[in-house]
Structure 1
Amino acid sequence: IEPLYQAGLDGIIIQDLGLIDLLSNTFPKVELHGSTQMSVMSSEGGLYLKDKGIKRIVPSRELSLSEFKHLKDAGLEVECFIHGAMCYSYSGKCLFSSMAGGRSGNRGRCAGTCRKSYSLYEDGNSKKLMDDAYIISMKDMCTLEDIGALIDAGINSFKIEGRMKSPEYAAGVTAIYRKYIDLYLKNGSYKVSKEDLEEISDLYIRSQICQGYMNTHNGKSMISIESPSYKGISKEKAKEIADKYIENRIKKDITLDVFAFVDSRVKIKVTYGKDLSLDFEGPVCQEAQNKALSEKDIKDKLSKFGNTPYNPVSIKVKTDDRSFIPVSVLNECRRNICDLLEDKLIAVNKDTDISYFDKKKALINNKSSKANENSYIVAVKNIGQLKAALEYDFYSKLILDCFILEKLNKDLVSKLMDKEVYISLPPVMRDNKISYIKTYLDNEISNLLDDGIVIKGIYAGSIDAIAFTKKYYPEYEICGDTGLYVFNIYSEDYVLDMVSSYTSSYENNFGELKHYNREDKREVVIYGYTELMQTANCLLKTSRGCNKDYEKILYLEDDKGRKFPALLNHNLCFNTIYNNLPQSLMDKTSELSGRFSGLRFNFTIEDYNETKNILASFETGNINNSYTRGHYNRGVE
């Protein structure tokens, strides 16, 4: 980064929270922007990052136009996606490629598991809802029709997804959007032509397009059910775009005022645009022995800017018609002018402190601390799991999914007295649901307090959830859940300034975890189905239509016969897709001993009997092997 910074780098888009401190202290003049991989969905989350030094956020693609406007109204700089491929999962919340193929979408290595065909079943094998279809393959986003509304909303920057695309794609798509942005700014309205829609559809885009989530929360119309394939760009169109935008470089106009007089230095005043100018002095002009350089001669020599970014639209020369300047000197003057212009245009940054990385590492290592003996944790999502869990005493901390609080009866509440009770917040917390979540929690926490149950803390797995808790429930301990992407000692240190403890990411392997420092503040999941996706689109709605009373588990089956369960959250309108096998480290507790402050059972789709069997098998040591190790041994790309 250092050479880029010194050359005038404007900003860095980051996902890793640890980089906020490292980069802001090492490169103080560069702007830090929060990546869409941070999964920011609420103004609370955005403002929290702003307070931490994030200048601009790139929110989740799933937000609506009104939600983008709400972020702007809250005082945030916002950059939003307007065109290109869309993930089925909320960005930063997808582990499907990671777990199924060992390549992490969170690291830009997605293997495209959402572009494969799946069959959809209801409750396992009982009923097939869709057969061999591209159920989770999103159509590409095209928001040409919405550009005016986005401009009116005050969006600071428009983002065109172009990773691994050709220069012709980038140039062609950008040119079309530039056209309609300019039309709207000039006229206040525009109508997208049929020809432009056809052209943009021919620029390496999926066979179908949609407007994304700007005006639609979800729906079958957003899914390319029949085929996920791309329409390739034709050779003729590629050549046309290359000739227009790539081969013919865009140049900036400059003017030159030249003064050449005997026994004085040649002086050239260069003007670039309205606000930038520079004064250049060359060598002393000599008395011509034969023929003096005419005004035309000087203009001809200085006009040859060739393959540079500059176009001299005006060259004015004042001379005494006695001066002589060698051609080589004029050429050197022209080259020096180009260098000086570049230095002026690029604000060179010299104030770097690369040593800060090592200083920070030393400070972090001084905080190193070991965990005590194993402490066990049980997390539950339904009442059956809770009933089974309350039959065992080998754990002390119990984490309740917030949406089962309303289902607790007096008998279950009385059994909570002997546990340290925590609440887990949902992984998706958008502005349009924050009020609902707060009202719901206020009521349920009050009911528990009336029954003598004290909530000790809240598990938060996102920036939005942390910001929400700090704003509305500052009296509670905050514990970081698996959704916080902690992948090195720097992010670990930074996150532990935000929360009291955190749960290790599913993408960490044991070798990497040995190099972390705060073992007394770190928990790990030793049993549970890994969350592969959190999605705004709904499998049920795509296959059968919306049904808020639907309580069954859906299963995606791939071409290898693996079945991935999915739970539907009707309260907040999102799906969670889980791995086909649970991850288990239950037989590795001796290896994990002393390295984690808590070992967690994370129950999700299990019923009462399944939960009881898992806990019983652990307590007796009779653990079966129908599990996966996840990334515990192999790691991830």
Structure 2
Amino acid sequence: MPRPIHLPELLSPAGNWECARAAVANGADAIYFGLPRFNARMRADNFTPADLPELMRFLHSHGVKGYCAFNVLIFTGELADAEQQLRELENAGVDAVIIQDIGLARMVKALTPKLRLHASTQMTITSPEGLELANTLGIDQAVLSRELSLRELERFRANESPQVPLEVFVHGALCVAYSGQCLTSESLGRRSANRGECAQACRMPYEMIVDGELRDLGDKRYLLSPQDLAAVSEIPRLIELGIRSFKIEGRLKTPEYVAAVTRVYRKAMDAALADQDLSQIITEEDRYELEMTFSRGLFSGWMHGVNHQKLVGAMYGKKRGYFVGTVSAVDRDSVQLEEVPDHLKNGDGVVFENLSNTNDEQGGRIYGIRGQWLDFQRGRLRTDFIRPGMRVFKTGDQVLEQKLRQSFQGDIPLRKKAKLDLVVTGKAGEPLVISVKGQEMVKVTSGMPLEVATKRPLSLESLKEQLGRLGGTGFELGEVEARLEGDVIVPVSELNRMRRALVEAAASLANLGEPQSVAVSPTTTLSAMLEHVSQTPNNPEPQSPTTSTNLLVLCRSFDQIEAAIESGVKQLYVDFEDIRQYGEAVKRVKEDGRAEIWLATPRIQKSGEAGFFKLIERSEPHGVLIRNLGAIAYFRDAGIPITGDFSLNVANPLTAEFLKQTGLQRLTISYDLNIEQVMDLLAGAPPEWFEITLHQHMPMFHMEHCAFAAFLSTGTDFTNCGRPCEHHKVRLRDRVGMEHPLKADVGCRNTLFNAVPQTGAQFFTGLKQSGLRSFRVELLEQDKEESKRIIQTYQALLRGTRGGEDIWRDLKAQSQLGVTRGTMA
């Protein structure tokens, strides 16, 4: 392949010190880690602020960079603490922060400009248009969504946009939901994934209810648990596409996992850069190590597009290990296999698969091997639970674990330094220029012209002496070619400055290029930033306690539209699964003339899906409800009024201000905020910027995985699945018996909605007193009469003729499933 301008980076996870050592010892170029607060893996051991100086000294001495995962939403009352943590990271020499929250990203650039800013995958960047908007924050690197295929990554044209280095995940656990768009833990247990507290509901068993009846799916019970990503074979193509950082998932994994996966991907990247055939380089032993250290089954994920028959195996939701064979006979304390593989040995751990209940499986360590028989400790196995035909998986290999541990125990050798071959040019009256041979982008120029030397002119030897002082860096001096005209001289101090600048430029090139320069006022403070938000001019119409409130209703059917209009609702949001019906909806509402109709965009937009936007635009709605970053510029430039939905994750005034400046009229407050955090937000920014959803079925999982296609067809994608989503009503029943509605959108993406509606009616009075005037009710599957009842209930709340607690009790009494107080409680 053509050698890339920038050498790609291998980025490994580090949940603790041992993992950091494992990553460094096995070839990582950088690690990412978290602190006890503000990171998306709160269950990891994590590092403390006191650890940072020692950690960064260790990393930098081995030529490795350290990135801090700061990838959660930041609430208004936490901004000061977030600022303090940013300053601790900057002072400790941390190389970059990985950020989800837009407001926090602004703080990085304004308050700690020495930190590189990496946009987290939690920012849900799925299209070049979304990346372009995120880039206005001054990001130095973007972690793209895992759901992008190689073909979709190609459309980012990374090789032609080197100023925005792109990072992708290449190995590890796959979230079934889009990162930054999963509200399941928040909805079911008030443990927000956007706050690092994911409860992994995707790894739990579900039953599928189709048209009211339980569908027999055989042993498939883990309907939302994807296999793990393994893109080692795709490394050459990813390098060709210009991807600059290759990320391994796993801050909750063991150091042995980190060691094995880092080693294999280091081997793959080096081979690809040397134009070696990966099929000859990555051996079965390498793949064995990947499976043994952690695997739910390895698959290429979305790299080759969606394949709904393979992505989710649905057999289990936890580590499985390496397939050993199949049981052929059972005896007391012994099991016979059809064939015993050569790698199986005494001391290895195995498990006998029980698909009817993967939490109740027999297994243990092998005590002896007799031909095809495996012997176990007496009484260790309930062999009456093991049957011929059961599959056997290897779950433990003590020899491999010891080998992997040895890789990072003791002293870790310093890496071989990269050579700098330099070309030095110049003549009297012009600047001295030093460049790296073969890397034209890396060059430095003196800040003064060369002078004619009367004594001790620059020579090849003197240049080598000064430029070769590279101790403490990741470089050593190679060849030096002097192309100087005449006897010239420059001060030694200037040569030293140029050497340091050259090293910095070369290091930046090798590790993803120079950070973008952002003008920063040296007097900027968090207080000044927040004061600027709070003093933003309000709407021309002054707010007062008597100012009328506005009820907006989101409809998902024509019957619901009719119910809303007949109830006197003045502004509708319409969110149809089939957006081809948008034109008809707009026509009906406009002909009626009693309400405005705003159309909702899909929650995700990928490159090549701008046709959805064009269809919405051609429908000529009164406005558009924006659900992704890529849609903002399109509809703003089209001159259509726009409002931002909950999926933009507005959690603090700094995020709100940035999004308001993009042209959004209002912003829907994030569903991650409870009532106290909502009130803090409304106190920190003009309340008329916002609207809040008072009644809804929480959209929990939003995913590229289509459960309709996976379990109701044999098709791999929308071209051959037969579109069962158009013919069947599906619910997923969880372990406690709740049946959650499943819906497919125009992009064939699925949303699983909470079966239980939630209400914030009891908080209405306080919200109104804070100055908030826009309140939303979202309908899901209600018929016309039920829709009217819900709408009119909330209209009475806004008029003041019914109280919030009364409404909550009433809805609970009249709803079959009850109503939760929701995440605001």
Provide TM-score, normalisation by structure 2: 0.61
Report what 2:604 is aligned to: 428
**SS of match in other structure, 2:609:** helix
Report the Cα offset of residue 420 of structure 1. Answer: 2.6
Paired residue for 2:742, among 566, 569, 586?
Answer: 566
Distance 1:274 1:234 in 2: 52
Is 2:699–2:753's contact at 8 Å kept on the other side of the alignment? Answer: yes
1:243-293: CA deviation from partner (whole Å, max 9, x where unpaired): 1244340314689xxxxxxxxxxxxx9x999976269xxxxxxxxxxxxxx
Paired residue for 2:622, among 452, 456, 459?
Answer: 456
| Aligned counterparts, 1:158-177, within 5 A | 158-177=246-265
Equivalent AA in structure 1 for residue 534 of structure 2: N
Report what 2:234 is aligned to: 146
Report what 2:452 is aligned to: none
Aligned: 1:357 with 2:533: no
Aligned: 1:400 with 2:574: yes
Quote the RMSD (CA, aligned, Å): 3.3
Report what 1:181 is aligned to: 269
1:554-610: CA deviation from partner (whole Å, max 9, x where unpaired): 1111111111111112x3111111111111124543333243231111123333233
Report what 1:484 is aligned to: 648
Distance 1:211 1:272 in 2: 48
Report the Cα offset of residue 631 of structure 1. Answer: 1.1
Distance 1:503 1:139 in 2: 34
> CA, structure 1 residues 236+375, in 2 after alignment: closer, same or farther (shift >3 Å)?
same
Distance 1:202 1:354 in 2: 53
Distance 2:474 2:665 in 1: 56
**SS of match in other structure, 1:250:** coil
| Aligned counterparts, 1:493-504, within 5 A | 493-498=657-662, 499-504=664-669
Report the Cα offset of residue 352 of structure 1. Answer: 10
Report the Cα offset of residue 101 of structure 1. Answer: 1.8
1:323-359: CA deviation from partner (whole Å, max 9, x where unpaired): xxxxxxxxxxxxxxxxxx9xx9899x9x996961122
1:123-166: CA deviation from partner (whole Å, max 9, x where unpaired): 4x334254770000111000111111111111111010021122
* Worse-superposed segment, 377-386 or 604-613: 604-613
Paired residue for 2:693, among 525, 530, 533?
Answer: 525
Report what 2:118 is aligned to: 33
* Worse-superposed segment, 459-468 or 499-508: 459-468
Is 2:551–2:795's contact at 8 Å kept on the other side of the alignment? Answer: no
Paired residue for 1:19, among 69, 79, 104?
Answer: 104
**SS of match in other structure, 2:623:** strand
Aligned: 1:242 with 2:405: yes
**SS of match in other structure, 2:131:** helix
> CA, structure 1 residues 479+225, in 2 after alignment: closer, same or farther (shift >3 Å)?
same
Report the Cα offset of residue 198 of structure 1. Answer: 1.3
Is 2:669–2:691's contact at 8 Å kept on the other side of the alignment? Answer: yes
**SS of match in other structure, 1:163:** coil
**SS of match in other structure, 2:531:** helix
**SS of match in other structure, 1:611:** helix
Report the Cα offset of residue 506 of structure 1. Answer: 1.3
1:473-531: CA deviation from partner (whole Å, max 9, x where unpaired): 2x122211011111122222222222221011111111111112221111011111111
* Worse-superposed segment, 483-492 or 144-153: 483-492
Distance 1:557 1:18 in 2: 38
Is 2:613–2:631's contact at 8 Å kept on the other side of the alignment? Answer: no
Distance 2:734 2:649 in 1: 27
Equivalent AA in structure 2 for residue 201 of structure 1: E
> CA, structure 1 residues 278+161, in 2 after alignment: closer, same or farther (shift >3 Å)?
closer
> CA, structure 1 residues 8+420, in 2 after alignment: closer, same or farther (shift >3 Å)?
same
Distance 2:561 2:757 in 1: 18
Distance 1:359 1:32 in 2: 21
Report what 2:30 is aligned to: none
* Worse-superposed segment, 404-413 or 369-378: 404-413
Equivalent AA in structure 1 for residue 129 of structure 2: E
1:152-183: CA deviation from partner (whole Å, max 9, x where unpaired): 11111101002112222112101101111111
**SS of match in other structure, 1:524:** strand
* Worse-superposed segment, 518-527 or 81-90: 518-527
> CA, structure 1 residues 607+40, in 2 after alignment: closer, same or farther (shift >3 Å)?
farther
Distance 1:126 1:68 in 2: 40
Report what 1:539 is aligned to: 707
Aligned: 1:69 with 2:160: no
Equivalent AA in structure 2 for residue 72 of structure 1: R
Distance 2:811 2:607 in 1: 43
Report what 1:291 is aligned to: none
1:363-389: CA deviation from partner (whole Å, max 9, x where unpaired): 233348667432111111221211211
**SS of match in other structure, 2:776:** strand
Counting matched residue pairs gives 545
Distance 1:274 1:407 in 2: 75
Distance 1:29 1:405 in 2: 48
* Worse-superposed segment, 618-627 or 210-219: 618-627
Equivalent AA in structure 1 for residue 267 of structure 2: K
User: Structure 2, unaligned stretches of length 5 or more?
Assistant: 1-85, 322-394, 419-460, 477-499, 509-514, 714-720, 797-801, 813-817
**SS of match in other structure, 1:215:** coil
Paired residue for 2:556, among 362, 378, 381?
Answer: 381
User: Structure 1, unaligned stretches of length 5 or more?
Assistant: 256-268, 280-307, 313-340, 446-454
Equivalent AA in structure 2 for residue 624 of structure 1: L
Distance 1:185 1:513 in 2: 50
Equivalent AA in structure 2 for residue 466 of structure 1: I
Distance 2:628 2:474 in 1: 47
Report the Cα offset of residue 219 of structure 1. Answer: 0.8
**SS of match in other structure, 1:609:** helix
Paired residue for 1:414, among 591, 599, 608?
Answer: 591
Report what 1:553 is aligned to: 729
**SS of match in other structure, 1:515:** helix
Paired residue for 2:791, among 607, 611, 615?
Answer: 615
Equivalent AA in structure 2 for residue 126 of structure 1: E
> CA, structure 1 residues 503+310, in 2 after alignment: closer, same or farther (shift >3 Å)?
closer
Distance 1:354 1:632 in 2: 37
Distance 1:233 1:390 in 2: 63
1:176-231: CA deviation from partner (whole Å, max 9, x where unpaired): 0111111111125320322211121111222x111100003131311131111114
Is 2:176–2:202's contact at 8 Å kept on the other side of the alignment? Answer: yes
Equivalent AA in structure 2 for residue 218 of structure 1: N
Report the Cα offset of residue 438 of structure 1. Answer: 3.3
Provide TM-score, normalisation by structure 1: 0.79
Report what 1:221 is aligned to: 310
**SS of match in other structure, 2:251:** coil
Report the Cα offset of residue 54 of structure 1. Answer: 1.6
Question: Greater relative contact order: 1 or 2 (C-alpha under 8 angstroms, separation 6 or more)?
Answer: 1
Equivalent AA in structure 1 for residue 175 of structure 2: C
Report what 1:319 is aligned to: none
Report what 1:631 is aligned to: 823
Distance 2:465 2:200 in 1: 46
**SS of match in other structure, 1:100:** helix
Report the Cα offset of residue 428 of structure 1. Answer: 1.3
> CA, structure 1 residues 275+561, in 2 after alignment: closer, same or farther (shift >3 Å)?
farther
Report what 1:596 is aligned to: 772
Distance 1:184 1:616 in 2: 64
Report the Cα offset of residue 412 of structure 1. Answer: 4.7
**SS of match in other structure, 1:483:** helix
Report what 1:277 is aligned to: 469
